[in-house]
Structure 1
Amino acid sequence: MLHIVKDAEPDSLRQDRKDGNSFNDRKCKKELNDALITNQGHLCVYCMKQIVLPNVRVEHYKPRKYKELVLVYDNLFLACEGNEGNGKSRHTCDVKKGESELQIDPLNPEHIKKMGYGTGGNIYSSDDQHDRDLNIILNLNEEELIRIRKSYYDIITDRIEQAKVEGEYSFEFLDKELQKYVKKRRGKYLPFCGVAVGYLKEEMETLRGQSY
């Protein structure tokens, strides 16, 4: 998961909310999808797979039973198709979540800071409730996701080991690598960039501690 920072909501969504149309306006749907995918850097709000319009799901963070939040911008995100149709054990993200409620919030940077990634590709949180959200409600430790995250984890760790061998390893080197993953390129984040971001920040903290 990534920390999501939202721009101003589309005017058409504000008007749709005022009119009580609940996405019946085609212009509202388009502008909402465009805004959300821009905010998220073309990644699923939960698993960080790359997403492409129109093959997305509009995710209501607080489920639709909260009728007063159905058209609230901060309650809306874009999610991947979550392996829908491939068997319930493989369902992830919004497909797996359904009408369940999460405690971990992609708009809260403190929640994202509590997350980490293991050497085997698993995702976890130091907060027990958030860890349950990741594992049970969102199924983000589904087999394919673990495999993909491990491949990205191996890439960044190999890059760091190479830098150590070649004498390039330094705080400045780590920060330069970090910028590749925290900044959008042509409006897009690199898929699964949170894996590299988490690892690089840990390396930077370790190196900073050794400097004192």
Structure 2
Amino acid sequence: MTERATRKPRIVVGISGASGAMIGVRLLAALRRLGTHETHLIVSASGAITAAQELGLTRSDLDGLADVVHSVRDIGATIASGSFVTEGMVIAPCSMKTLASVANGFADNLLTRAADVMLKERRRLVLVARETPLNLAHLRNMTLATEMGAIVMPPVPAFYAHPKTIEDVVDHTVGRILDLFAIEHREIVKRWSGLADEFASRRDDDGADR
């Protein structure tokens, strides 16, 4: 059997310096729990600072969540080449600086170089863009990234799931990220199953559309 047939598929996870480090952390934890993929982690310097401030995690804590860890300065790492086969990449959270770098091909570190590889190889790239409100530069960079094939996925909560904790909100985003890679999972996302009968009948009676 070939190496590709025997190894786990690989997925790259980047954590940049936007608020929302918990998204990347819980994504890595979910992937480890599922055990379906080999995870490759890149954390920017600002991403490590944010994780420490928001979650109290050290860089060692973050590194322990992944199978393989790469320095953001190691431009010669395996994931800097399209010949290193992966299923794709998630940057969660994705800062506006990182988004701008990806959108404009400014591959000045391993995080943005790996993202550039995903685009040129036509692999899945998910950018969990974390900023609000958005200015025109943010919106234009999102358009550029989308036109090149990336998926821009702001971590917008689904209130129909009736989240009770911050973890519930984050896990819904994590589950939707896994969906984008067709990674099977259970109990991470409360999926939409249609309106309850009482609400459906009320809608029909009112004859109202959203």
- Normalising by structure 2, report the TM-score: 0.27
Q: Give the TM-score taking structure 1 as reference length.
A: 0.27
Which of the two has greater strand per residue?
A: 2
